[in-house]
Amino acid sequence: MEKKIKSVFDKKNKRKISCLTSYSYNFTKIIDGLVDIILVGDSMGMVLYGMDNTRNITDQMMINHAKAVKKAAEKSLVFFDLPFQKKFDEKEMITRVKNIFKKTGCDGVKIEGNAELINVIQKLKKLNIPVMAHLGLQPQKFTSSKNFKIYGKNKKDLDKIIDDSIKLQNSGAVALLLEGMKTNIAKKITEITKIPTIGIGASEFCDGQILVSEDMLGMFTEYHPKFVKKYLNLSDKIKHAVKKYVTEIDRVKFPNKNFRYD
């Protein structure tokens, strides 16, 4: 696993890193090997379960989905999101990561947080658990996507996040996920860090990109951030297929002799 991890994250300044989310076995089978990293994101709360935010995903829910994804992934790395923790507690956080990591067999974990994660990352590194630190806009801090705010609109934000980036890198993080931040900040962090930056709404200057799969495929229509590019309008295609299915049932065109046992 270490060799596989190294081969992906060594791509900084060589080739862009590609990432997408997945929460199921079948979808993972489709995208496995096409992207470098598959993230079992807590975004499933909004995308799969219709929650208002990402805060109500439990560790057991993450384990169930991550196990399915990891079982299907033979080529891509699989990282999981550490679900929301109400009160910051290093010991509890490490215990939770160890438990999910062990039960799912994933390749690493993504954790939302800033410089307070230094000791956590150092200890997880000693346990051979790779950590991707999530900086900038951190969805777990919000109760609704309507309240999401772009990060880095003042100099105080700039100075702090650059300082945090260096500290998290030095503590042993394998990558930094930068979300919803001003272009100049994302570019600066990418330039000064030795580990790769993976952006989502953080400009093309990052070392890689990640999107929620349902967003880029045009399946999740309730929330559409500016940074999302739809590569397919799958929602309309699904509706068209379902309407055709219903029509054929009504007109007794399906099933026909080709789909029955005589």
Would you call 179 a catalytic residue per the annotation? yes
Rg (CA), the chain: 20
Burial readout 121-155 (b: 16 or more C-beta within 10 A, e: otherwise): bebbeeeebbbbbbbbbbbbebeeeeebebbbeee
In terms of Cα–Cα distance, which of 106, 93, 109, 21 is closest to 66?
106
d(CA 244, CA 238): 10
d(CA 50, CA 74): 29
Q: Which tokens hold the place of 34?
A: 């096409």
**List 112, 116, 179, 214, catalytic entry:** 179
Distance CA 121, CA 181 (A): 23
Distance (Å, whole) CA 161 – CA 184: 12
Place of tokens 């989310």: 21
In whole angstroms, give the CA distance from residue 177 to residue 27: 23
Cα separation, 20 vs 243, in Å, equals 29
Q: What are phi and psi of 24, to 5 degrees?
A: -140, 160
Integer Cα distance of 18 and 36 in angstroms: 5
Are 58 and 79 in contact by the 8 Å Cβ rule? The answer is no
Spatial distance between the Cα atoms of 23 and 66, rounded to a whole number of angstroms = 7
Supply the residues annotated as catalytic: 179
